Amino acid sequence: MALLVLATGSRPAQSQPTQSQPTQSQPTQSQPTQSQPTLQARADRLARDALLVDGHIDLPYRLNNFYENPADSTIGGDFDYPRARAGGLDAPFMSIYIPTHLQDTPGAATDRASTLIGLVERIADEHPDEFALATSPEDVRRLAATDAVALPMGMENGAGLGGTLEHVQRFYERGIRYITLTHGAHNRIGDSSYDDSPPRWNGLSPFGENVVAKMNRLGMMVDISHVTDSTAADVLAQTKAPVIASHSSCRHFTPGWERNVSDALLQDIADAGGVVMITFGSSFLRDEYQDRDDPIRSEMRAHVDSMGWAEDSRKAVAYEEAVRDEHPIGTVQDVADHIDHVVDRVGVEHVGLGSDFDGVFALPAGLQDASGYPNLVAELLRRGYAEGEVRKILGENVLRVWVEVEATAERLQAASAQSGR
């Protein structure tokens, strides 16, 4: 989750950089184009047929605040079963989000993680035709052949471990398959790119080093979204397996903002075999989108207050969604530009999608909820991406990483057993 305050917080106001020119590794727009109806039909089919994995959706946090049946059309948020099916989404990683204010109370952070995992389990138990838990790439592939949407889980903010190394295994056994090491503030694991205070560790803490090692041994993906560059560098120096950035975009388009991935870090992630999963949040896409939603949100809150609605009331939620729908910020083309940039720098094998649906306020036109993936597919096809390349972006890349993370764990466990440790 990009906290709404944080995701739209202050960044250095800088001019928009000129977009890089395509190289041979980057599809261009000079190739023959099809008519839009034909192209959209192709995109709709490809989104349905491809295995589509989204690295980060904040449904559990949203439903914990205002519960609706996600198997039906919901008035709130960006994700539910009908919209997922309309968009071709097969496997959204459910974000088990630990708010920053719980970090200083380890028991509360761990309890929140357990509560949100229980909520995902409840969804799968109560709606088995629509949803099913997934704890492996094989589960995702198997469920993609059914009508059910697979629900793998990732913990956003390693503070949910409560500072206890044994909790890595505990949460692995509960179904967590990646951990975003930090979130809105420095924590016991490492330093956060959102925290304006001086670094606490100048990278990974000693506990964080043990957490990464434990995750490698269990087969849990390490997620470096939200961390500082120095923390990411420490992770990449230590990890035995590829890493992911589950919901980050390219700093090239937001200079000076550490929350997005720099070109140097992008190269390091690719060299380690990892994937950067491009997020759709408007503030991640362009510097000039940074503050556009501030007046919209202010007016919205003023209206809710004037009506006397509680923030978590049905009327307030419905009103907020109507306002968000009426005020998209950015375009599908902006998201495709970030994908192009990754492809241009390190190749199509190292990019995926991590929308941050249900976790950000402002989204681009055409990608305002989970039904919109075909619009992005159409834009990629229009730019000349081959269908096989689009399939990699939609899900095959992150599944490749997940498989390699599991294989690394098997090797580490075998080596440990052989050495008698």
Query: According to the model, what pLDDT value does residue 1 have?
Result: 64
What is the residue-averaged pLDDT of the chain?
Answer: 92
Q: Provide the token pair at 297.
A: 């949100």
pLDDT at 155 over 90: yes
Contact 152, 176 (CB under 8 A): no
**Which residues partner with 352 through β-bridges?**
277
117: closest CA among 165, 161, 154? 154
Query: According to the model, what pLDDT value does residue 152 have?
Result: 99
pLDDT band for 33, please (50, 70, 90 cuts).
low
pLDDT at 19 over 70: no
Q: Tell me which CATH homologous superfamily contains domain 35-291+331-413.
A: Metal-dependent hydrolases (3.20.20.140)
Q: Where does 66-205 have alpha helices with state H?
A: 81-87, 106-126, 137-144, 166-173
pLDDT at 11 over 80: no
Task: Give the number of other CB atoms < 10 A from CB of residue 198.
Answer: 8
Tell me how far apart the alpha carbons of residues 101 and 208 are, in angstroms, rounded to a whole number. 20
**pLDDT, tens digit, for every residue of 237-286?**
999 999 999 999 999 999 999 999 999 999 999 999 999 999 999 999 99
DSSP labels for 60-82? HHHHHHS---TTS--SSSS--HH
Q: How far is CA 305 from CA 186, 297, 300, in A?
A: 33, 12, 9
At position 148, the amino acid (one-letter code) is A
pLDDT at 13 over 50: no
Q: Token pair 């944080």 is at which residue?
A: 6
Q: How far is CA 115 from CA 112, 134, 385, 394, in A?
A: 5, 18, 41, 30
Tell me how far apart the alpha carbons of residues 70 and 76 are, in angstroms, rounded to a whole number. 10
Q: Where does 250-331 have alpha helices with state H?
A: 263-271, 294-307, 314-326
**pLDDT, tens digit, for every residue of 317-334?**
999 999 999 999 999 999
Tell me how far apart the alpha carbons of residues 129 and 127 are, in angstroms, rounded to a whole number. 6
Tell me how far apart the alpha carbons of residues 216 and 178 are, in angstroms, rounded to a whole number. 10
Stated length of the chain: 421
Tell me how far apart the alpha carbons of residues 91 and 165 are, in angstroms, rounded to a whole number. 28
**pLDDT, tens digit, for every residue of 36-82?**
779 999 999 999 999 999 999 999 999 999 999 999 999 999 999 99
pLDDT at 3 over 50: no
Give the domain ranges of the chain: 35-291+331-413, 294-328
pLDDT band for 290, please (50, 70, 90 cuts).
confident
Query: According to the model, what pLDDT value does residue 418 have?
Result: 87
Q: Provide the token pair at 10.
A: 């202050």
Contact 180, 154 (CB under 8 A): yes
Q: Provide the token pair at 169.
A: 């295994």
Tell me how far apart the alpha carbons of residues 176 and 181 are, in angstroms, rounded to a whole number. 13
Query: According to the model, what pLDDT value does residue 34 have?
Result: 66
Q: Is the pTM of this model over 0.75?
A: yes
pLDDT at 149 over 50: yes
Query: According to the model, what pLDDT value does residue 125 have?
Result: 98
